[in-house]
Structure 1
Amino acid sequence: MSGMNDLTMANPLFVTFLFYAAILVLKTVLMSLATARHRIGKKIFANPEDAKGLQGKVKLDDPDVERVRRAHLNDLENILPFLIICPLYLATGPNAWMATMLMRGFAATRIIHTFVYLNVVPQPSRGLAFMVGLGITIYMTVQTLLATL
């Protein structure tokens, strides 16, 4: 069965969605930990009560912390819409191979985006990863809308 009519582990497409959704959620959560690691390691914090407890200082413009925070924010802006539209798209009964490739592609682009962002890989690497992921989300959204007409 190729759609989301069967929301059980018996539906290979649903299992694929669960796998990539879990990977993306884990990746997003780990970005919070990466921000905390940078803050604690440099003893710079966003709130006075946090700085006081660890003998740090309040600083909102550290380039390393802000780079991780921007990567995390970009995940939140892109992964959340994907996690919402993907099951809706799957409910339209798309081709299973195409849907699987779109889910894999989106997950790969988000991992690549973070890698190039955090490792300061020159553009257009980050921009390309962003655009491919965004394109996948837009494609799924348009296909979902078309299926409802």
Structure 2
Amino acid sequence: MANLLENLNLENLVFRSYAFWSVVLILKMLFMAFLTVIQRVKNKAVASKEDSPKGIVKFSEDVERQRRAHRNDLENIPIFLIIAFLYVLTSPSQFIAVNLIRLFAISRLIHTFVYAIKPMQPARAITFFVGALVTFYMSINVLIFFY
């Protein structure tokens, strides 16, 4: 058990990369909540009757797009954070691990841009699948290592 925990130190480039990009992704998820609020104010759209002075709920496609992008983050990033943490414990190749972590984080940043800010397909699907493939690859490696 002690050998696994040796990977969690500041001299380990893989752990440092994981820590840095994890914080970037967490900040991005927090930022998405603010983007949703900005869209609600800009479009005068409220989520429920008690939020409206007139008791009228107003739908906005821009708000819904922000909400869907944020929800997609909430469905994918926490899973990655857990799997990537376990992957760091497997003492993976530094080059592969650091670049996989970067690839996932950058794909999620681009995914937000092409989903919520400037809607574009197939870029949205490609960035989603890049992140999913990274998570899947790490998951398989963790399963093999711990089996």
Same fold (TM over 0.5): yes
* Residue 15 (structure 1) shift: 1.2
What's the C-alpha RMSD, in Å, of the aligned pairs?
1.6
* Residue 8 (structure 1) shift: 2.8
Contact 2:69 2:115 in 1 (8 A): yes
- Partners of 2:144 and 2:11 lie apart in 1 by 27
Report matched runs for 1:40-51 at 5 Å.
40-51=41-52
- When residues 108 and 56 of structure 1 are mapped into structure 2, their CA distance, relative to the original with a 3 A threshold, is farther
* Residue 64 (structure 1) shift: 0.5
- Partners of 1:83 and 1:106 lie apart in 2 by 10
Contact 2:108 2:131 in 1 (8 A): yes
Is 1:100 aligned to residue 98 of structure 2? yes
TM-score by length of 2: 0.90
The gaps in structure 1 that reach 5 residues or longer are: none
Contact 1:44 1:57 in 2 (8 A): no
Report Cα offsets for 1:7-47 as digits up to 9, x if no partner.
Answer: 23232221111100000000011000000111112221112
- When residues 126 and 4 of structure 1 are mapped into structure 2, their CA distance, relative to the original with a 3 A threshold, is farther
- Partners of 1:97 and 1:143 lie apart in 2 by 15
Report Cα offsets for 1:97-123 as digits up to 9, x if no partner.
Answer: 1000000000010011111112012x2
* Residue 90 (structure 1) shift: 0.9
The equivalent of 2:18 in structure 1 is 17
The equivalent of 1:58 in structure 2 is 57
Amino acid at match of 1:41: K
The equivalent of 1:26 in structure 2 is 27
Q: How many residues align?
A: 143
The equivalent of 2:137 in structure 1 is 139
Identity %: 43
Contact 1:35 1:68 in 2 (8 A): yes
The gaps in structure 2 that reach 5 residues or longer are: none
TM-score by length of 1: 0.89
Contact 1:4 1:93 in 2 (8 A): no
